[in-house]
Chains A and B, each alone.
Chain A
Amino acid sequence: MIKILKQIWAVTKVSARSNLAYPGEVLGRTVFMAVILYIFLKLWQATYSQSGATRLGDMTLAQMLWYLTITESIYMSAPRLTRQVDEDVRTGTLAVRLIKPMSYPLYCISFCLGERSVRFVFNLLIGAVITFCLVGAVPVSPFSLAMLAVACLFGFILDAFGQLIVGLGAFWLEDTSGLFLIYTRLVMIFGGMLIPLELFPHWLKEIVVFTPFPYLVYGPVHLFLHPSLTEFVVLLKSQLICILALGLVAAFVYGQAKARICAHGG
């Protein structure tokens, strides 16, 4: 167990370091964030003004913009694990990785976590500066930040499993990019990236909570803006159940994939 954790940490560190080698991306990220957050501000300013309300869902305009900043940072930090797995399958690299003493799924998830954590922090720092200039700050405490960090970590693991399953589809499908697009769009809509779940129609809310998507994006961010230990525990429980479920699916799919390699020689 300790050995596995050490392996995970080693891969995560390398991945994080390799992402820090590209600071030039910062310019691109800044422009992107500035444009999108400015547009969101104008959209929601008009919406709040039109509806005459100071709170929509349970958020003020400032909270709404911070909500969108963080959801955007989470969504945009997602690495292309699916594409990597797809490529590993098609080029036969996966067969080579089977020889290594680390489980391929664990390797993928560790790699993903390293890359994602760096990109998320980058996005968040840039987004936070812009949002602060536009609407000022929202209440922040070490408690809320810690909860955000932990909830995001579990959210990232959940997403990694999802992407891994889609990527392993390369064994059976000619092209996984379509499936990947469906997955990312489901995360975007049902994850509450563009509009918080409170503002969904009631019938849709009822359905969405039974999918893993809200726990990737909406859950951690809502928790940050409305810190509550009870909500934290509930969210964590939901995330763990989803991780377990997706983990089992991933293990099954991976087992099938491995059997294919062993049968056909890579």
Chain B
Amino acid sequence: MCKQWTKCKSYLKLVAAYIRLNCNIQLEYKGAFVSQFAAMFLNNSAWLAFWLLFFDRFPVVKGFGQNDVVTLWAICAAGFGLSSTFFYNVQELAPLIGRGQLDTWMLYPRALLPHLALGKMSATAVGDLAFGYITYVLLVRPDCAHFALFVLLTLSVAMLFVGFNLIRGSLAFFVGNAEVLSEQWFFSMITFSTYPSSLFDGWVKLVLYTLIPAGFVSGLPVEALKHFDLTCAALALAGAFAMLLVGIFCFYLGLNHYQSGNLIEMRN
């Protein structure tokens, strides 16, 4: 027990060290940080502006109203922002593997996946995270209970994105030049995540809870917040956790494949 706690403390100190270093970098380039932060905000606001225009003209579409789409964008931006802020390397896993940089990480005496995941942070994704919370608080004006649920679901969405990114990044272990495929898969996920999931049905809905798990972003969490439905929240969390487990499994399966050196394409 003591040993586990010492190990845990050691990893927490490591996380703190990476956060400190990343903050130092942003302080070095204050101007660029501020402008990129603002750019994230602006980009998300532009999309929100479109939706506000749309719902101004068509107040309700398939059960979705203005408040719901604001909630959707808030939870998506916040969750995605959180996952990118702390686990940017996971988002960039395919090119990292493709460029042979995994070897460098394997030479450190730390558990590979957690260390790799924490190894790069995107401070500009803080813009997305901030946008999510500011938008939700200012435009939806939640009470304490809803806000607490929003925080919980941010973690859930972040966990989902990490798991999803691990799965698509691990493609690089099995397929040469996986970056293009990985990027298109990512793009599809982000796009579907920012549109109401109630628009889709049938087999597409199935896809949105499996291959392109946007339903765990734009579906269940939004429903949970709209009706304060804890069952929906629990399902969203369960789905995100399952995605994370699958992602971890895929990564280690791929790593084993990588170490055995049975690639479709030769590496040098």
Contact = CB atoms under 8 A, between A and B. Distances in A.
A contacts B directly (C-beta below 8 A):
yes
Interface in A155-186: 174-175, 177-178, 181-182, 185
B53 A195 contact: yes
Given A200-B53, A201-B56, A32 B187 contact: yes
Interface string A193-204: 011000111001
Nearest to A42: B199
A96 interface: no
Interface in B39-66: 39, 42-43, 46, 49-50, 53-54, 56-58, 60-62
A51 B61 CA distance: 9
A250 B62 CA distance: 46
A78 to B, nearest CB: 15
Contacts of B46: 185, 188-189
A50 B60 CA distance: 8
A46 to B, nearest CB: 5
Nearest to A176: B35
Given A27-B184, A174-B32, A182-B42, 13 more contacts: A35-B188, A39-B195, A42-B199, A46-B62, A50-B60, A50-B62, A174-B35, A175-B32, A181-B39, A188-B46, A189-B50, A194-B50, A199-B54
Given A35-B192, A201-B53, A47 B187 contact: no
Contact of B183 (A28, A177, A199, A204): A28
A28 B180 contact: yes
Interface string A202-228: 001000000000000000000000000
B94 to A, nearest CB: 14
A237 to B, nearest CB: 27
A182 B42 CA distance: 7
B109 interface: no
Interface string A95-139: 000000000000000000000000000000000000000000000
Chain B interface helix/strand/loop/mixed: helix
B149 interface: no
The 10 closest A-B pairs by CB, nearest first: A185-B46, A178-B35, A42-B199, A31-B184, A46-B62, A181-B39, A174-B31, A194-B50, A35-B188, A175-B35
A24 interface: yes
A263 interface: no
Nearest to A198: B57
Q: Among the interface residues A36, A46, A199, which one has the most CB atoms of the partner chain B within 10 A? A: A46
A185 B187 CA distance: 19
A43 interface: yes
A17 B187 CA distance: 28
Contacts of B58: 47, 50-51
A156 B31 CA distance: 32
A51 B58 CA distance: 8
B63 to A, nearest CB: 10
Contacts of B39: 177-178, 181
B191 interface: yes
B118 interface: no
A3 B188 CA distance: 47
Nearest to B31: A174
B38 A195 contact: no
A31 B187 contact: yes
A28 B50 contact: no
A43 B195 contact: yes
A43 B57 contact: no
B39 to A, nearest CB: 5
Nearest to A175: B35
A209 to B, nearest CB: 16
Nearest to A174: B31
B214 to A, nearest CB: 10
Contacts of A174: 31-32, 35
Given A36-B191, A178-B35, A43 B42 contact: no
Interface in B165-216: 180, 183-184, 187-188, 191-192, 195, 199-200
A175 B50 CA distance: 26
Given A178-B38, A189-B49, A35 B187 contact: yes
Contacts of B195: 39, 43
Nearest to A38: B204
A52 to B, nearest CB: 12
A201 B54 CA distance: 10
A123 B49 CA distance: 26
Interface in A35-91: 35-36, 39, 42-43, 46-47, 50-51
Contacts of A46: 61-62, 199
A159 to B, nearest CB: 17
Nearest to A51: B58
Contacts of A200: 53
